[in-house]
Amino acid sequence: MPFMRVILLCAVVAIAGRTFAAGEPDAAAVLAGLIDQAIEARLSREGVQPAAIADDAEFLRRVYLDLHGVIPTSEQAERFLTDSTPAKRARLVDDLLASPRYGEYLADVWQGYLISPLADDRRVRADRFRQWLAGRFNTATWDRITSDLLTGTGKMEDNPAVTYLIEGRLPRGVPDLTDLTSRYFMGVRLNCAQCHDHPFVGWKQQDFWGMAAFFTQVQTPRRAKQVYELGVIDDPKVTLTSLRDAGMLDGFIPRSPTFLGGQEMPAGKGSNRAALSAWLTAADNPYFSRAMANRTWWRLFGRGIVQPVDDMHQGNPPSHPELLDLLARRFAESGFDLKFLTRSIVLSRAYQRTSRAGDAAAGEQQVALFGRMSIKVLSAGQLYDSLEVVSGPAAKVTGIDARQGARPEFTEFFGDEGDPDPTAYRRGIPHLLRQMNSGQFAGRGVEALVSRLSASPGRSGREVASDLFLTILSRRPTAEEEARVKAYLSRSGDVPQAGYRELAWVLIMTSEFSLNH
């Protein structure tokens, strides 16, 4: 079905916590239109023809993976693909953003950025931290979430936000907190100036240590009985100078808390971290809104307007500077509403273009200029959760031990720490073998799927095969695929179940399933 542009004047549309009355333009749809103007103007100047709009099945799978981190169920796919109303894409986006699953997925993503649950005793913390993040992403704005993380105090069991500040049983190192905060909340790789002035960018060593000074007061109580009782306090007696005597890293510069840009923290402004948070989350901060606008674009498109996503500086200009300025400004004006920013981008034609290659000569330019969607690799969490959608949760599959640690073990093996390039495929033979030989997803899981789809009496092989495509790939088979499947199933003779199982296994192992296109 051809793509229908979102209607700007609507009766009553509730979006991201705000209601638009009849006759009032939908601000997200307006911004989506401005996004397309900027993208298409650049494509026109470069003489690059944009790709076509994705069909409904391609859009459906992409938007589920990008907003919920999982493929749609067969019921969800069927409902959307058979819906003939013009505004169904916008309505689906609203439904996905309103679902608790939206915050749960972002929590999964940001937990991977901010903490690393390597040891078993840290999984309790990681789970609690992820649950806290999920609630905040569903209900709070980005400035509030950031402020909670930077200024948290108390016990982790009472305030999971302080997990960001703790490594093991001690406060996270001052350089580590400076690096994480600058990269993920400012889009700047300030750690390159820790031991010396940055060789290529204007960051000086004193810039790093001026920002580091904001974190010197972070301490953990000395006599915590259990990991669950760990907490954070501020100790005003601790300074960079006192830390130097405790063995601070080479390149140490004693410096007062100083915001990036050279302004020292004013006296009498409360705790160091509170002052840093107030400066960072201000509407006119030159880093905060730009960093999140660029990272959100990067997560949805597979590449940032500034690339790499956390290396924003004058020597690494944005591909579309006016567009990044626009997104950052509107994001700040919305009160740092992430749902508004996400909805604006997802409603754009740029986001909804196909990833299918057309003119090979123009392909790279199309992707670089956002005239065609990049193909992204499913993260470990997306892959696990999508496999569960197909096979069913392990607890419901006969004979499979649904251990609580199954998902963490899977995601650790498939490896997604930090923020790797979403378009780079890094998995190899060990990963494929683990997926191929998984009892949960390949053995009894596939058998349970086939039994479920073929249980109704009188179902034809064509119907079962079509439902397998819908369940696994979120689309119906093409005419050519139907013919090939029919020929294959005809060789199964009196044992059609075996043919169905083989077909399901093949579809799960396709690149189409493991990629977000």
State the pLDDT at residue 411. Answer: 78
Cis peptide before 117 (omega within 30 of 0): no
> What tens digit of pLDDT does each residue of 176-224 get?
999 999 999 999 999 888 877 777 788 888 999 999 999 988 888 765 4
- What's the pLDDT band for 15 if we cut at 50, 70, 90? very low
425-450: average pLDDT: 76
pLDDT score of 75 more than 90: yes
Indicate whether 25 pLDDT > 60: no
Token couple for 269: 């402004």
> Given the DSSP bridges, would you call strands 166-167 and 376-377 parallel, antiparallel or unpaired?
unpaired
DSSP for 333-381?
HTTS-HHHHHHHHHTSTTTTB--S---HHHHHHHHHTTSSPPPEEPPHH
Q: Which helix (H) or strand (E) holds 183?
A: helix 174-186
Rounded to an integer, the average pLDDT of 267-280 is 89
Q: Give the CA-trace dihedral at 43, 49, 50, 53, to 10 degrees.
A: 150
* pLDDT for position 3: 32
CA atoms within 13 A on the CB side of 118: 5
Handedness of CA 143, 147, 150, 152 (dihedral sign): negative
Q: Is residue 76 pLDDT above 70, yes or no? A: yes
401 or 484, higher pLDDT? 484
Residue 19 vs residue 474, higher pLDDT: 474
- Which 8-state DSSP code applies to residue 477? P
Beta strands in 202-332 (DSSP E): 218-219, 231-234
Residue 276 is inside which H or E element, if any? helix 272-280
Q: How far apart are CA 143 and CA 172, in angstroms?
A: 22
Mean pLDDT lowest among 107-111, 131-135, 437-441: 437-441
In this predicted structure, what is the pLDDT of residue 369?
95
* Residue whose C-alpha is closest to residue 294's, from 275, 313, 273: 313
Is the pLDDT higher at 444 or at 285?
A: 285
Q: In the predicted model, what is the mean pLDDT of residues 65-70? A: 98
In this predicted structure, the answer to whether residue 20 has a pLDDT above a threshold of 50 is: no
Greatest distance between any 2 Cα atoms in the chain: 83
CA 129 – CA 125 distance, rounded (Å): 6
**Where is pLDDT greater, at 509 or 495?**
509
Q: Please, which pLDDT band fits residue 418 given cuts at 50, 70 and 90?
A: low
- Least confident window among 204-218, 308-322, 425-439: 425-439
- Residue 465's nearest CA partner among 73, 478, 509, 61 is 478
Average pLDDT, the chain: 85
Q: Token pair of 136, please?
A: 């905040």
Residue 121 predicted with pLDDT over 60: no
How confident is the model at residue 425, as a pLDDT? 80
Residue 16 CA to residue 97 CA, distance in Å, equals 8
Whether 103 has a pLDDT exceeding 90, the answer reads yes
Contacts of residue 486, defined as CB under 8 A and 6 or more positions apart, other chains included, come to 461, 462, 465
Q: Report phi then psi at 499, rounded to 5.
A: -65, -40
CA 335, 340, 345, 348 torsion-angle sign: negative
**Among candidate residues 153, 174, 182, 175, the one with its CA nearest the CA of residue 238:** 174
pTM of the model: 0.90
Span 231-257, pLDDT tens digits: 888 888 877 777 665 555 556 778 889
Alpha-carbon span 101 to 68, nearest angstrom: 6
Give the mean pLDDT of 397-416.
63
CB contact at 8 A, 255 and 209: yes
**What's the distance, CA 287 to chain centroid?**
20
Run of H or E residues at 207: helix 205-212
> Which DSSP state fits 16?
T
Asked whether residue 403 carries a pLDDT value surpassing 60, the answer given is no
- Taking only Cα atoms into account, the Rg of the chain, rounded to an integer number of angstroms, comes to 25
The conformation of residue 14, written as its DSSP 8-state character, comes to E
DSSP 313: B
Predicted confidence (pLDDT) at residue 227 exceeds the cutoff of 80: no
In 3D space, the residue among 12, 34, 24 whose CA is nearest the CA of residue 94 turns out to be 12
More confidently predicted of 5 and 55: 55
In contact, 42 and 369? CB cutoff 8 Å:
yes
Q: How many other C-beta atoms can be found within 10 angstroms of the C-beta atom of residue 113?
A: 15
Give the separation between CA 29 and CA 345, rounded to whole angstroms.
9
1-27: average pLDDT = 39
Give how far Cα 143 sits from Cα of 289, 300, 378, Å: 9, 21, 28
Q: 122-130 — which CB contacts under 8 Å span 24+ positions?
A: 122/227, 123/405, 123/408, 124/227, 124/228, 125/156, 125/160, 125/163, 125/166, 125/227, 126/163, 126/408, 128/156, 128/157, 128/160, 128/163, 129/160, 129/161, 129/163, 129/164, 130/104
Average pLDDT over residues 422-429: 81
Q: Is the pLDDT of residue 301 over 90?
A: yes
The answer to whether the CB of 344 falls within 8 A of the CB of 330 is yes
Mean pLDDT, residues 403-414 taken together: 73
Tens-digit pLDDT profile for residues 320-332: 999 999 999 999 9
Under 8 Å CB-to-CB from 293, ≥6 apart: which residues? 305, 324, 327, 328, 331, 341
Residue type at 323 in one-letter notation: L
Mean pLDDT of 468-494: 91
**DSSP-derived secondary structure letter, 231:** E
Helices 74-81 and 461-473, interaxial angle, to 10°?
100
Tell me what pLDDT residue 88 has.
98
| Per-residue model confidence (pLDDT) at position 404 | 59
Domain ranges of the chain: 13-99+318-368, 142-280, 376-516
pLDDT attached to residue 463: 94
b/e 75-91 (16+ beta carbons within 10 angstroms → b) = ebbbebbeeeeeebbbe
Over residues 356-382, the pLDDT tens digits come to 987 656 678 899 999 999 999 999 899
| DSSP H or E segment with residue 79 | helix 74-81
pLDDT of residue 95: 97
